[in-house]
Structure 1
Amino acid sequence: MPARTSNSDEDKMTETSVMSSYRPTSRAGRGGKGRVPVIQMQFAAIWIALAILVALCALFLPRSISGTSVTSILPFASFLAIAAMGQALVLMARGIDLSVPAIVTLSSTVLLGTSGGAEGSAVIGTALALAFAMMVGLVNGVLVAWLKLNALIVTLATGAIVAGLTLWYRGSLPAEAGVPTVLAEFGEARFLGLNTTIWITIALTLVLTVLLRRTQLGRRFEAVGANPRAAYATGVEIRRYQAGAFVAASLLYGIVGVLLSAFIRNPTLDVGNPYLLAPIAAAVLGGTAISGGIGSMIAVAGAALFLTQLGQALKVLGLETSWQMMFQGVAIALGMFLSEVQTRKRRGG
């Protein structure tokens, strides 16, 4: 086992390894004084694409960007953004999570079953829904980080098991089970003209961004994804961070299940189905590296908005949902290709 270094040396070495892997480059300012950061294109590209999409919609599909249309799609963009940020955390830890739909449906079903219906306790139901979601994430994390099993197979298997258990549990609930009244009112509440879900998404995006960019925890997490061997050599317990990524991601999926249930009031067993490919597509379009370590929660949120607006535009055109699924597949393939290109450039540099 490599010798452990002192805390100060550990932090310095860890931060150095991370900086060499993901930090944006910089160039000298005028006269050689100061350093001007260069915006990473892999994070800026999605905002450029979103601007182009909005411009095209304004020219050819003005109905798709009307005030009513935008207001109606923003909550769904928020649900996707939260799920995609969870997927991005797993990707940054060099994993992948295919149990997202099952966890979203599980948290939604647990909420219905434990909150006691319209007059039940929203607090108890929400707490249990999030707890069960995190338990699934913990199982995924232990199997992947400690037992070194393939994340793709593990999450596919746990997703199938959780889906089966959820189906069994849902059979004991009334067919028209709904969320508590107070939660339903929260789901349709607005602040400054926007649904509360949107503000929660903005808050989560900012909190995750600060944690990843401004804290030692975030620097070590990105170090684990960027170069696990180097992180371990500096004394970082990489398995805890890898498993923690699955737990944190599952918490975000659970939040999606709760917020989505509050928004639609009477969720069914299909509530999690849209969140299999879409979060992966949003994560990779937002510049998250498949090779690990690199990611921007703000860019991922932008990618979720891009995909949601694209889906809205396709609906206005009268195209079927199958087109959205095909685009998501293309987006994932393109994202993986660009991630590999970026990885080779970093290694070559």
Structure 2
Amino acid sequence: MTAGLSLRRVVAPDTPGAERLPAPDEPNGLWVEREAVADEEHLIIAQATTGQGGRSAIGLRFDEAGARRIGAFTAANIGVRMAVVVDDQILTAAWIRAAITDGSLLIEGEFTVEETESLAARMMANLWTQPLISEDVEAAFAAGREAPVPLIIGSNSAEFWWMKPSDISPYGAIDDAMTPDERAAFLAAYGGQEGYDAYVLSDLVFNEPARHLARLHAKNGHPAHVYRFDVVSAAMPEPHAGATHASERQYVFDTLITSPWPTAEMDQRQATVMADYWTTFARTGNPNGADRPVWPEVGADGDSLLEFTNDGPVARPIPFRDRLDLIEAYYSRVR
């Protein structure tokens, strides 16, 4: 067992294969199994947050493998305590009341904001192999300070279909700085208020930034490939046309078993080809190979992307250039 974060079963004292660790409000500590339910190898993020009543807390999010392990363990151990161990000290040991199936944990206690920030940083410490750079991504790319490696970046065809720019949220505030002339130009480009409400946030948050970063990366002399994901399962129940936010993940990793809705043979065909592109890219730095359609580079082949559709991948110009150009000019003005 390494230092860092682990989730472990609390057991009776002197249980074989267990060890005693310090624990808050437990003068004699607690005994926990040495084998972890999940550890930092499965951790995606640990961050300071708030819990019930606005109290300081720590939110943990684990990957799919970790979520499966935690789900199976908690389902089989209702009424047992599970300890959160950080650097060989028990942070908390809560009773399991129900199965935890989404890979998320909220750690609450008598923490200050500073303590939650420090603890979250300690949990993440073993994941950080490079220094953290506190700099805006766009500024880093514009200055040529991004990593000099090949890049895949892209978005889905219906990312934020449920959000409108009039919503009271950080996303809804993105267009607040538009001038009257800019807003009029945007409404014209989107075909009126209905089209603007339906598509502008997806363009503002995902589509234009993806194109912009790919262009900067290519300008800096590095390969950049843009994708647009538009594979939609026949059984997908959401009331919109297009691929919603994050729905490409089970295709990229060929893990359709994790899909929130049923999939069919078409979905498996697209998952196979997407995983082939990504694994080739991971192995060689270039997603192209075999007899797959060629995925063009941004810059070398103009503003082109590879669109993943129900009928297979298709190389095409990046769509809605007029809308994205307006957003690029708007961001250039307000940055």
Q: Which has the larger radius of gyration?
A: 2
User: TM-score higher than 0.5 here?
Assistant: no
Greater helix proportion:
1
The structure, 1 or 2, with the larger RCO (C-alpha pairs under 8 Å, 6+ apart) is 1
- TM-score, with normalisation over the residues of structure 1? 0.24
- TM-score, with normalisation over the residues of structure 2? 0.25
Greater strand proportion:
2
